């Protein structure tokens, strides 16, 4: 059973390579996972927002989770996203993913119903009790409009089957309050490419990083610097990636990311409705930036 101590470093949030009919392009998915393993990542996260969870069928999600787990073959943890807003659908997804061999689940705060903090607390406690796998909390208020109060996170962190959290809350003071009170055996992971070195300097164990799919070695080097207290050097490296981060999120993720995967040998540009291909001008600028970074950072 996966524990918090096994959650550290760089865990890319990976896109789901798909064919034109919406099915998983398994060859491309395996190639992407292999690329990341060669890049020295510490785990990976399929089927989050970057994996277009909401646009995939339940069967397709399970297949992507299975392909990742099979290809990783126990080398690093595989954490599958569970982004359903309803409890029973989320639990069904958890059981599907457990059956194909993933190691843990990233469970988003239930949205649309606008629950109270007491409702969020009870939801996650019940889910942890019934889940077949350990879970990580997933807080991303700029998509869900719901944030977990730090005090609720502190309480949840003491549950033996809630082993960590992906933080996509850009409020740094909120982050510091979370870190200040979580259980020692609880892995807080940055979910923000834009704040990653600051989050690690403030106590994050690592991060679930979108652009690490393109530059796994560079992000791993940044983590090493930040976790060793070499914050100034980590920030200097991060500054080199800021134009890439801005462009990657210049339109809704993962459209821009998928449009340049061929630059690392993965030909899988298709996105699923309601996403569309990013504007040609954005793609051109992004390709230029990826080309530069592959030369000066990733292959240095």
Residues classed as catalytic: 138, 166
Cα 150 to the center of its chain, rounded Å: 21
Distance between CA atoms of residues 194 and 173, nearest Å? 16
| Neighbour tally for 23: CB within 10 Å | 14
The SS3 assignment for 142 reads helix
Alpha-carbon distances, residue 194 vs 146, 157, 168, 205, 254 (angstroms)? 20, 25, 10, 16, 16
Distance between CA atoms of residues 246 and 223, nearest Å? 20
Closest CA to 103 of 152, 163, 153, 57: 163
The kind and range of the H/E element at 119 are helix 117-130
**Dihedral of CA 85/87/89/92: which sign?**
positive
Residue 255 and residue 277 in contact, taking contact as beta carbons nearer than 8 Å: yes
Distance between CA atoms of residues 271 and 22, nearest Å? 9
């Amino acid at each position: 059973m996966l524990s918090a101590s096994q959650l550290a470093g760089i865990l890319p949030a990976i896109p789901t390579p798909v064919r034109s009919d919406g099915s998983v392009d398994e060859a491309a998915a395996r190639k992407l996972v292999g690329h990341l393993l060669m890049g020295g990542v510490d785990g990976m996260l399929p089927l989050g927002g970057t994996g277009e969870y909401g646009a995939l069928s339940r069967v397709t999600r399970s297949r992507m989770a299975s392909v990742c787990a099979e290809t990783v073959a126990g080398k690093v943890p595989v954490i599958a996203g569970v982004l359903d807003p309803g409890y029973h659908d989320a639990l069904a997804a958890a059981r599907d993913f457990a059956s194909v061999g993933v190691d843990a689940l990233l469970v988003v705060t239930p949205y649309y119903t606008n629950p109270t903090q007491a409702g969020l607390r009870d939801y996650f406690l019940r889910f942890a009790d019934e889940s077949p796998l350990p879970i990580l909390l997933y807080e991303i208020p700029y998509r869900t409009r719901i944030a977990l109060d730090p005090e609720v996170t502190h309480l949840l962190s003491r549950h033996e089957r809630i082993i960590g959290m992906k933080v996509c809350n850009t409020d740094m003071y909120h982050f510091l309050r979370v870190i200040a009170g979580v259980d020692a055996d609880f892995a807080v992971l940055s979910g923000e490419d834009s704040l990653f070195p600051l989050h690690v300097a403030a106590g994050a164990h690592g991060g679930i990083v979108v652009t690490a799919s393109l530059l796994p070695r560079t992000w791993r080097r940044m983590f090493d610097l930040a976790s060793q207290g070499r914050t100034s050097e980590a920030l200097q490296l991060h500054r080199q990636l800021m134009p890439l981060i801005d462009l990657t999120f210049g339109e809704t993720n993962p459209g821009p990311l998928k449009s340049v995967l061929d630059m690392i040998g993965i030909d899988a540009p298709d996105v699923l409705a309601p996403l569309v291909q990013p504007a040609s001008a954005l793609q051109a600028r992004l390709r230029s930036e990826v080309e530069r970074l592959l030369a000066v950072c990733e292959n240095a």
